[in-house]
Structure 1
Amino acid sequence: MNKRSLVNVGGIATVIGAGVVGVGVGTVLAGIARSALRAELAVDDGPDDLLTAPDSAPHRLPVRSSDGTVLNVEIYGSDDAADDDGDVIVMVHGWTCNTAYWYPQINHLASSEGGRRRVVVYDQRGHGLSERGLRRPTIAMLGQDLDAVLEAAVPAGRRAILVGHSMGGMTIMSWAGQYPEKVGSRVSAVVLVSTAAKGVLENHTLVPVDLPAYARPFAPVVAKAFTSMPVPIPKTPYGVRISHYIALGPHARKAHVDFVDEMIGACPPRARAGWGSAMGKLDVTPGLAALSVPTTVVVGTEDRLTPRTHAEQMAEVLRRNGSLRDLVVYQGVGHMTSIEAAERFNEMLDDLVAEVSRAEQRVS
């Protein structure tokens, strides 16, 4: 066979290979879309008052992280120590979200019903009103940003109750791994919500189980493309159905689905892709092991992005270390746990805050 024939054969093989990949990826995408469009419609039972913007505007505190990137930090609740001298609740949102994710908790905790607690939330870099920065996103960077927020927003002599959802939970574990000496002195308790310590792209359940055998090897390709491609998300009725399938439980309220879809769509494509790519290299197990304070792990049974197996693995590590407070599992709830199950989640936070207060009173 001459050289030209070899080139032709190679070219044909490349075309065939690309065609096979295209068919496989297309089949996976079609399977996800089919499952999303066949799922039940969200329950339209009216608005959810907990999702409204808080009545009181926050105090905005620009915080400069270690590399100079400015983060948008918002502080709710009274600044008067006489009103609230307890631990500060610091809440860290997840991938493609922003500070509005925590509205159901802010509206409760900063109210008289929730004890008018001091609540600190911030936009992860590249999300909301925070700068994206010049460096390539890394998981270590998340922990460094949290450290800057804690130093700036938690008054001297007070500790924080850290609550992190999805990438926010990874942020807390990243911080603990880099600053283990600060865990006990700066933090009194931790809540890890719908998150993972490693293998987040390998263990999702977005892909239907009934795919043809030839398409299954292409599922990781689709997962990587889904998380790391910087393309705008089109606003269509079908797009809302996809958001529902991916991020919320099958019986989610329409108000919740619309709120989440709007929030995800507002995330800049470059930030979404950069942080999605960073999570592909996730391993914050040293930080998980460094959590020496009472830690609660929360997950929904219908979470497709960080399924229950992640929560159980994290809980087992914490149990062995003696720092597991509780493993909380919400039936029928998807990835957006503290929105979908806001009332139950807020009750859990109230109990946790009360426990921390009693423990500190005994020590004092």
Structure 2
Amino acid sequence: MGWPERRRRAAWIGAGAAALVAGGVATTLGGIVLAARQFPDPVDDGPDPLLTDPSDTRSSVVATADGTLLHVETSLDLDEYPGDEVVVLVHGWTCSTRFWNAQMNHLAGDRPFIAYDHRGHGLSEMGKAKVTVEMLGQDLEAVLASVLPEGKRAVLVGHSMGGMAILSWAAQFPSAVTERAAAAILVSTTPREVVQQQLLTPANLPAYTRVVRPLVARSFVSTPMPLPSNKLTSRLTHYMALGPGARAAHVDFSDEMISRGSPKSRAAWGSALYRLNVVAGLEALSVPTAVVVGSDDLLTPPVHADFMAEALDRNGVLLEYSTYPGAGHMVPIERAPEFNQLIDDVLAALTS
């Protein structure tokens, strides 16, 4: 075979491989959209008053180590409350402090709390530095050092990327765990392989899509594409982030919050999370810790919660392992009354 013929053959093979990849990507994306369209309609039973924006909070900013300003919301009784514990709410990827509306409304006037926006989320600046998983923990340390009243200890509540922030913090600041933390609640989260082990891709797709599924997953989290809030995105949000029996008020609230997010920030953090490994933080978490997951969570399925619970139990710090039947990724929204009670129970256990 001559050189020109070999080049033509290589070109045909390359074109065939590219077509196979393109077809696999299209089939995978189409399968996800079809699964979302076939998902049950949300339950339209009216608004959820717990999700209204809290009125009795104080806004401020905290400067991180590199000078980026983070938006912080605190309860009005933060400094005056006589108790020793402060609830610190750390939201997840593509969300904001509004994610915790149901918890802030529940705690207001009863227990002090701190909530903040990750850099590039909500009202926080993005900053100029490339975002990393280590930065999640460093930013949490900046908030605690600046806002947590002296002599108080944090009950850290982290959802999704917020849980990863807590584990990143514990890995980098192990001495601060015993000094500044009283307990932790890890919700719908994982210390590793968050993108790689998601279950969004339907299992019944053709075998030829398997090779491109990691590419689709990585592209999904790292592409800076605007996400409007409409009927299709609402369907996708319901499928991806909430359980099949979710309330329409919860789906709409989640979809609208996600659509507000910066595409640049979403892509930057999505890329960073592809390399997630904060298992060391799980081992360094030396305070009583509860693990929470929804049985139908496709983004951080229960296998992650199982792994965390086993490690925490082995280290003698597992406080509770709660699975919410039928709930998806947004447990604090979908199961707010039960989840709020869990926070109350953790606080009560610290004083008993």
Q: Same fold (TM over 0.5)?
A: yes
Which digits, 9 at most, give the CA deviation of each residue in 1:89-124, with x for residues without a partner? 11100000000000000000114xxx2x11100000
Partner of 2:233: 239
What does the per-residue CA deviation read over 1:167-212, in whole Å, with 9 as the maximum and x for residues that have no partner?
Answer: 0000000000000011111000000000001111121111111111
Matches within 5 A, 1:118-129: 118-129=112-123
1:92 aligns with 2:90: yes
SS at match of 2:211: helix
In the alignment, structure 1 residue 171 sits paired with structure 2 residue 165:
yes
Q: Which residue of 1 aligns with 2:220?
A: 226
Separation in 2, partners of 1:169, 1:246 = 19
- Work out whether residues 121 and 265 of structure 2, in 8 Å CA contact, stay in contact via their aligned partners in 1: yes
Q: Using the alignment, how far apart are the partners of 1:333 and 1:284 within structure 2?
A: 25
2:168 partner SS: helix
Are positions 1:208 and 2:206 aligned together? no
Q: Is the 8 A contact 1:302 1:335 kept in 2?
A: yes
Corresponding residue of 2:44: 44
- CA distance in 2 between counterparts of 1:87 and 1:230 reads 39
Which position in structure 2 is the counterpart of 1:25? 25
> Which amino acid letter does the alignment assign opposite residue 109 of structure 1?
L
Alpha-carbon distance, 1:76 to partner: 1.4
Q: Note if 1:327 corresponds to 2:321.
A: yes
TM-score, normalized by length of structure 1?
A: 0.94
Please give the alpha-carbon distance, in whole angstroms, between the structure 1 residues aligned to 2:297 and 2:319.
21
Could you tell me which residue of structure 2 aligns to residue 361 of structure 1?
none
3-state SS of 1:40 partner = coil
Q: Are 1:109 and 2:103 an aligned pair? A: no
Cα deviation, residue 271, structure 1? 0.5
Q: State the distance in 2 between where 1:96 and 1:4 align.
A: 51
Aligned amino acid, residue 69 of structure 2: V
Q: 1:257 aligns with which of 251, 254, 272?
A: 251
Contact 2:242 2:334 in 1 (8 A): yes
Q: Which amino acid aligns with 1:96?
A: T
Q: Which residue among 149, 153, 171 is the counterpart of 1:155? A: 149
Deviation at 1:79? 4.1
Q: CA deviation at 1:213?
A: 1.0
Structure 1 residues 144 and 80, CA gap change in structure 2 (3 angstroms): closer
Instruction: Report the count of equivalent residues.
Output: 352
Query: Aligned equivalents of 1:79 and 1:328: distance in 2?
Result: 28
Code of the residue aligned with 1:107 in structure 2: it is N
Deviation of residue 60 (structure 1)? Answer: 1.6
Bigger drift between 341-350 and 1-10 goes to: 1-10
Give the counterpart letter for 2:95 in structure 1. Answer: C
Which residue does 1:181 correspond to in 2?
175
CA contact (8 A) 1:160 1:189 kept: yes
* Counterpart in the other structure of 1:10: 10
* 1:352 equivalent in alignment to 2:351: no
Q: Distance in 1 between matches of 2:319 and 2:62?
A: 31
The SS at the match of 1:217 is coil
Aligned identity (percent) is 49
Q: Which string of whole-angstrom CA distances, capped at 9 and with x for unpartnered residues, describes residues 12-31 of structure 1?
A: 22222111001001111111
Matches of 2:149 and 2:230, distance apart in 1: 45
1:34 aligned to 2:34?
yes
Whichever residue aligns with residue 225 of structure 1, its letter is S
Mapped partners of 2:236, 2:347: distance in 1: 36
Unaligned runs of 5+ residues in structure 1 are 359-364
Which amino acid counterpart does residue 107 of structure 2 have in structure 1?
Answer: L
Counterpart amino acid of 1:47? P
Residues 78 and 84, structure 1, Cα contact 8 Å, conserved in 2: no
- Equivalent position amino acid for 2:329 in 1: H
Cα distance in 2 for partners of 1:72, 1:8 equals: 58
Question: What residue in structure 1 maps to residue 66 of structure 2?
Answer: 67
Structure 2 Cα separation of the partners of residues 155 and 52 of structure 1: 27
The one-character-per-residue Cα deviations of 1:235-287 (angstroms, maximum 9, x if unpaired) are 33111101100000000000000000011111100100011111100110000
One-letter amino acid of the structure 1 residue matched with residue 67 of structure 2? G
- The 1-side partners of 2:78 and 2:258 are apart by 31
Deviations 1:133-172 (A, max 9, x none): 1111100000000000000110111111000000000000
* Aligned twin of 2:297: 303
- What is the CA–CA distance in structure 2 between the aligned matches of 1:273 and 1:264, rounded to whole Å? 13
Q: 1:190 aligns to what?
A: 184
d(CA) in 2 for partners of 1:127, 1:318: 30
